[in-house]
Amino acid sequence: MAPFAPFERPPTLAVATSGGGDSLALCLLAAEWAAERGGAAFSLIVDHGLRPESRAEADGVAARLAGTGICAVVLPWLDRKPATGIQAAARVARYRLLMAWCRDHRVLHLLLGHQRDDQIETFVMRRRRRSGPIGLAAMRPVVERDHVRILRPCLALPGARLRATLRARGWTWVEDPSNQDPRFERVRVRRELAASPDATLPASVAAAERARHALCADVTALLAANARFDPAGCVSLTALWRYADAATREATLRRVLMAVGGRDRPPGPAALARLDRGMNRDGAWTLAGCLIQSRGGRAVIRREARPRAPLAAGSLAGHRSVHHVQNGQSRVTLAAAGGHAKMLATSNL
């Protein structure tokens, strides 16, 4: 936990606990770490409702943790389940439920049980998709969200070590049947790696992480020197940003598009590369919920305007207005209160 410091005193943690060996071991270790500092850890168990027995399993894990003094909460996924893309939909729902609980209970740190084997599998899958340096570096130890930090303390540990920790304490864990379903890419990759271990993969992952750190430092320097952020939410880039190398330009576009468009996931590397090539000439493009305009090397990126229903009477409740003066003009921006600053309307007065 030391690399993730500082923490508030006493620290309060939330641990996503599936009942599997990795997350269960993390939950026990995190609870001990927090208790030693006068704090507490909460176990958050998402019941996806994809199998008839899933709720009973979730309740069983919660009861067992409660017996050790760990407060466990079951979060059911009650939405209608899609016919296809179920794993991707379950992942989105899982993160939404976990982060909503943390927000509602003012818990700043959400711990996930991903470990070194998961990291290697992610690296292999992204390498097959020809991901760039950011994608190849796989999962990050820390991800900052609006109201919570997502922490992965076990990324450097093999899963066998976490499960050995549970065995030493006399704990058993639940194996999700989907982890053996070959319809899912990760399961197929896991089986391939088990059949033909590659001792060079940990070093490859570490090299990708170093490359990502270097690229992110270049992007930060480029933005600091060449970007201007308008309070209304658009970003302007000077013509000098085009003199950076292609990898840095594409990573810069990736970061700016996610920030301006408000998307949780970036556009794909192929789309970013096409946009970067197109911006060598004057023109306008849309991508990831943004309108990108380029002229003479300079670029302006703003959220793409979409038709909206008229505001009904009383619909201004729950919104805030921000009044500011720029270039001698007074403007009011109407945005949603609490949550993402999504611009709804801007008027010159």
In the sheet that 319-326 helps form, which strands lie side by side, from edge to edge? 319-326, 329-336, 343-348
Tell me the pLDDT of the chain averaged across its residues.
85
Looking at the structure, do residues 105 and 54 belong to the same domain, yes or no?
yes
What CA dihedral angle connects 52, 58, 63 and 69, to 10 degrees? Answer: 180
324 lies in which domain range? Answer: 319-348
Looking at the structure, do residues 12 and 132 belong to the same domain, yes or no?
yes
Residue 227 lies in a domain: yes
233 vs 290 pLDDT, higher one: 290
pTM for the full model?
0.75
In this structure, are residues 45 and 61 in contact, taking their beta carbons and an 8 Å threshold? Answer: yes
Any idea which of 90-94, 99-103, 136-140 has the lowest mean pLDDT? 136-140
Residue 186 lies in a domain: yes
Looking at the structure, do residues 73 and 180 belong to the same domain, yes or no?
yes
Find the DSSP H helices in the chain. Answer: 21-36, 54-66, 86-104, 116-128, 133-136, 159-168, 185-195, 201-226, 246-261, 269-278
Residue 109 lies in a domain: yes
Give pLDDT, residue 348.
36
Any idea which of 159-163, 174-178, 210-214, 283-287 has the lowest mean pLDDT? 174-178
Provide the b/e sequence for 176-186 (b: ≥16 CB within 10 Å): eebeeeeeeeb
Question: Could you give the number of structural domains in the chain?
Answer: 3
Any idea which of 21-30, 94-103, 125-134 has the lowest mean pLDDT? 125-134
Mean pLDDT on 295-301: 93
Give pLDDT, residue 59.
94
Instruction: Please report, for the domain that includes residue 60, its CATH number.
Output: 3.40.50.620
In this structure, are residues 15 and 23 in contact, taking their beta carbons and an 8 Å threshold? Answer: yes
Q: Exposed (0-12), middle (13-18) or buried (19+): which is 324, by Cβ within 10 Å?
A: exposed
- Confidence band, pLDDT 50/70/90 cuts, at residue 197: confident
Looking at the structure, do residues 6 and 150 belong to the same domain, yes or no?
yes
**pLDDT for 329 beyond 80:** no
**pLDDT for 240 beyond 80:** yes
Residue 169 lies in a domain: yes
Looking at the structure, do residues 333 and 278 belong to the same domain, yes or no?
no
Q: How far does the chain reach from its first CA to its final CA, in angstroms?
A: 51
Residue 180 lies in a domain: yes
Looking at the structure, do residues 67 and 172 belong to the same domain, yes or no?
yes
Looking at the structure, do residues 16 and 154 belong to the same domain, yes or no?
yes
Give pLDDT, residue 250.
93
Q: For residue 132, count other CB atoms closer than 10 A to its CB.
A: 19
Q: Which amino acid, one-letter code, is at 171?
A: W
Looking at the structure, do residues 130 and 19 belong to the same domain, yes or no?
yes
Looking at the structure, do residues 267 and 194 belong to the same domain, yes or no?
no
d(CA 116, CA 99): 23
In this structure, are residues 135 and 126 in contact, taking their beta carbons and an 8 Å threshold? Answer: yes
To the nearest whole percent, how much of the chain has pLDDT over 90?
60
Looking at the structure, do residues 23 and 94 belong to the same domain, yes or no?
yes
Residue 245 lies in a domain: yes
Mean pLDDT on 27-50: 96
- Confidence band, pLDDT 50/70/90 cuts, at residue 133: confident
Q: Which of 264, 246, 313, 257 is nearest to 289 (CA)?
A: 257
Looking at the structure, do residues 126 and 162 belong to the same domain, yes or no?
yes
Give pLDDT, residue 318.
42
In angstroms, how far is CA 281 from the centroid of its own chain? 33
Looking at the structure, do residues 52 and 180 belong to the same domain, yes or no?
yes
